Chain A
């Protein structure tokens, strides 16, 4: 007698629970979900008004740091190719200027040269490659420029080059007043050591996967990329806008990653920011719509 009675008393709560679960399921089905995840694309207006320009000239960068990558050449090539596909401006294909040499030429010009007077109209902008000199107001006077740029301090004196409006105006005249993109790029090695938290995957005796955070001592090496983009109005030679960035990447010390691939990996992170100064961008995300 006891057995069947027990069975009934156990079965009843199960039946009640099943009924409650079925009712809840029916309610949920009747009401539907109250929220919906939806992808959105937020358009961001460009920082610069580029409407006066039809063309853009990425002329060159004062570059320093590791010798493994020619940061001037690579940055110009990358930005030109990005602008070709992601901006409405026509990209001018011109020789890349070695701006370090331009800046050095400007600094080495003796004040006595002032007596030569300004350059005549129509003369080419100063280019060390073809031996053209610099006119009045086109030199970084009295500033000693380090021959080897290894860090930000070395780079600092070169910044005056971007304030030389007469120089940039003449570059602009030569290329029919485009928007000029220039700046500095510092791509340096970095090595560090210390404790790093990493997720370690383990499997127990039943084959179940577990991920545990582990603190391990690691020696790492990598690179730091510090570009500064300067946007110059080719009509006036004046700086319209500039922005600086810093990106870093570190690998296990045993990993041998080529400098050039690290450079591109870091530039990939920065290019959307660079482009957002010139052209409208869309930022993708998801939001929750509610009923």
Chain B
């Protein structure tokens, strides 16, 4: 009887949580999309704010980290950019576009690192 009750409560909790999880995903996606639209108009700081928010809402959102990395790169915050790219690749290791972005970023980053030697 108890087991059945626990199972029912757990199922109810999962069912109740599912829509809010879906909402969070949707909210994160809308933040990313808004970030893209403002970045395309050159408003990079606003874009970064949106993408940071997206990663807070959904920490498993690889695209948000990718976009955030690009934003940081554009602002010259290369350490932050590297961490964001690495997080994006950790979440989605087979994404060729993230990998390509990261490779291009590394070319620049390596150049500055060489200069520091």
Contact = CB atoms under 8 A, between A and B. Distances in A.
A290 B66 contact: yes
Contact of B73 (A36, A45, A47, A287): A287
A291 interface: yes
A286 to B, nearest CB: 8
A47 B36 contact: no
B93 to A, nearest CB: 14
Interface string A32-61: 000110101111110100000000000000
Given A35-B97, A47-B115, A289 B73 contact: no
A285 to B, nearest CB: 6
A289 B98 CA distance: 9
A189 interface: no
Contacts of A41: 74
A232 interface: no
Given A42-B74, A288-B97, A36 B36 contact: yes
Measured as residues with beta carbon below 8 angstroms from the partner, the interface class of chain A is: 10 to 19
A30 B52 CA distance: 27
Contacts of A288: 66, 97, 100-101
Chain A binding surface SS class: strand
B32 A291 contact: yes
A291 B98 CA distance: 12
B100 A42 contact: no
B94 interface: no
| Most central of B33, B62, B100, B115 by chain A CB within 10 Å | B115
A45 B112 contact: yes
Interface residues of B, number: 28
B66 A43 contact: no
B22 interface: no
A41 B39 CA distance: 12
A197 to B, nearest CB: 25
Interface of A: 35-36, 38, 40-45, 47, 276-277, 283, 285, 287-291
Given A40-B73, A42-B74, A290-B63, 18 more contacts: A35-B97, A40-B70, A42-B73, A43-B76, A44-B108, A44-B111, A44-B112, A47-B115, A47-B116, A285-B104, A287-B73, A287-B104, A288-B66, A289-B39, A289-B66, A289-B70, A290-B62, A291-B36
Interface of B: 29, 32-33, 36, 39-40, 62-63, 66-67, 70, 73-76, 78, 95, 97-98, 100-101, 104-105, 108, 111-112, 115-116
23 contacts: A36-B40, A38-B39, A40-B70, A40-B73, A42-B73, A42-B74, A42-B108, A43-B75, A43-B76, A44-B112, A45-B76, A45-B112, A276-B115, A283-B108, A285-B108, A287-B70, A287-B101, A287-B104, A289-B66, A289-B67, A290-B95, A290-B98, A291-B36
